[in-house]
Amino acid sequence: MGVKNGDARKRVTTAWGRLRWPLLLAAVLLCLGALVVAGMLPEFMSAPKSSPSTPAWQQEPGSLSQVDGVLPLDAEAPVPVPAEVSKLLNGTLKPDGAGSISGVVMDASTGQVLFDRDANANRIPASNMKLLTAVAALKALGPDSRFTTRVLASDDPSTVVLTGGGDVLLGGAKSDPAAVMGRAGLASLASDTAASLTKAGIKGPITVRVDDSLFAGGPLNPAWSLDDVAAGETAPLFSLALNSGRYSPEVTTGPRPQDSAVTTAQAFAEQLAAAGVQVSPGVERGKGVPAKVLAAAESATVSEQVDLMLETSDNFLAEALGRMTAGASGKETTYDGATAAVRQRLGELGIATDSMQLADVSGLALENQVSARQFAEVVRAITSGPDLALRTALDGFPVAGLTGTLGDRYVDAGTAEGAGLVRAKTGTLNTVIALSGYVVDADGRLLVFSFIGNGLDPGAAGNKVAMDRSASVLASCGCRG
């Protein structure tokens, strides 16, 4: 049997636990100020902290709690009445101008549909595609797996080969065990390589080669707009890269390296020189001898990479995870292999895929076609399904008004009631807005939802607001009729 709603509730509480310190400090300072101004009147000491009508799980905590003591959601909490949910959402889920928004809301535990507006219609999903990639990667690779970047010797003792193992989150400095991006660092790889060369009595000059053959096929997906590539939304994909295919981890927009494998090898050569090795100029492609490992560094876990992908909506990382999923699923490590592997793994979860059209696994391609119901089923598999490996994706969902791609949303009066409560993956293209995630309603019922707008007026601010407001009313809804 699958784990019930308690696991999802525990994840929500864990996320709140990480964010509570700044909020608690602000609350304490405000309370102290109020007491001083009021002359520390006794009645202030007994004033209630929150309205009795506010559910306990939506109140600011009065003290720190231990995660191990978190109680599961009440399995007997009332399921919202579909007519009441529909009444609320029909008033909020409206496009700002042209286009249409389809959507579905389901009870996570039972799968009962509480709201359905063209839920089975195929839609362009934008970055909601990453939800499909997340569950496929976790199922195929396992949440605790890591990717290894190796430096191999070659038949020529004066040549070393930097060999990609699928880690596109390499850092330029020393390996940082606490990091996701930069967990494996080129400086550490270079230092270990230099030590191995010294131990073997090999002196320079050393030629650096790079082996990026783990990923097959062309590095650029023909389904992508070249304008998106030029704008830095993604880049040609290789089996090793620095900073998820960027020049700097701090600069997430603008031009990217067009050959991340060579760029990474050049950076490695510089670190090798800094470690005291005489290095020949230039970088070549080639292969090493697998049995002769000079140095190796492991990536962050797959679950950590999935969380980063979902929270920041990283297209380059999504495609790399797709290729690794393809390899683990017996497919070619190409773009087509990645989409085939995602489809295969979704089918293993019991999610219907016949109607899907998949052109990439990041969501940049306009040829992608997936329904709101299929996304809701994926979210339900993560929150409440029998495969416990998928639970690790819960931390990657952005928190409304606080983290990731939802950090600057849920701040106005119409949506603020969902701040800190709604957790959802966003999706945005020129005429596409999508939001799929989960929320605990006012009665303590875990709900999953998916809203997808297509044919929308580009830049119309009301479309995101409509979706955010719709998710917010779910959070505040008792909806018992």
**What does the pLDDT look like over 225-239, one tens digit per residue?**
999 999 999 999 999
Whole-number Å distance between alpha carbons of 378 and 433:
18
- Do 49 and 59 meet the contact criterion of CB atoms below 8 Å apart? yes
Q: pLDDT of 19-73, one tens digit each? A: 443 433 344 334 434 333 334 333 333 334 444 456 665 565 565 444 433 356 8
Whole-number Å distance between alpha carbons of 244 and 334:
18
Q: pLDDT of 88-99, one tens digit each? A: 999 999 999 999
Instruction: Give the tokens for residue 215.
Output: 């990923």
Catalytic machinery residues: 127, 130, 313
- Do 445 and 111 meet the contact criterion of CB atoms below 8 Å apart? no
- Do 363 and 427 meet the contact criterion of CB atoms below 8 Å apart? yes
Q: pLDDT of 428-471, one tens digit each? A: 999 999 999 999 999 999 999 999 999 999 999 999 999 999 99
Q: pLDDT of 415-435, one tens digit each? A: 999 999 999 999 999 999 999
Q: In what order do the strands lie in the sheet with 293-298?
A: 279-285, 206-211, 159-163, 148-153, 293-298
Least confident of 60-64, 347-351, 385-389: 60-64
Q: What is the pLDDT of residue 74?
A: 80
Checking if the pLDDT of 139 tops 80, the result is yes
Checking if the pLDDT of 302 tops 50, the result is yes
Q: What is the pLDDT of residue 55?
A: 61
Instruction: Give the tokens for residue 284.
Output: 């070549």
Q: What is the pLDDT of residue 36?
A: 34
Tell me the backbone φ, ψ of residue 147, rounded to 5 degrees.
Answer: -105, 140
Cα torsion 269, 272, 273, 277: sign: negative
Checking if the pLDDT of 11 tops 70, the result is no
The mean per-residue pLDDT over the stretch 270-285 comes to 96
Whole-number Å distance between alpha carbons of 179 and 241:
16
Output the average pLDDT for the chain: 88
- Do 439 and 74 meet the contact criterion of CB atoms below 8 Å apart? no
CATH 3.40.710.10 residue window(s) in the chain: 82-140+356-476
For the domain bounded by 82-140+356-476, which CATH number is listed? 3.40.710.10
Strands 293-298 and 148-153: antiparallel
DSSP for 142-179 reads: -TT---EEEEEE-SSTTEEEEE--S---BBSSS--TT-
Least confident of 29-38, 74-83, 322-331, 455-464: 29-38
Q: What is the pLDDT of residue 478?
A: 83
Q: What is the pLDDT of residue 16?
A: 40
Rounded to two decimals, the pTM is 0.85
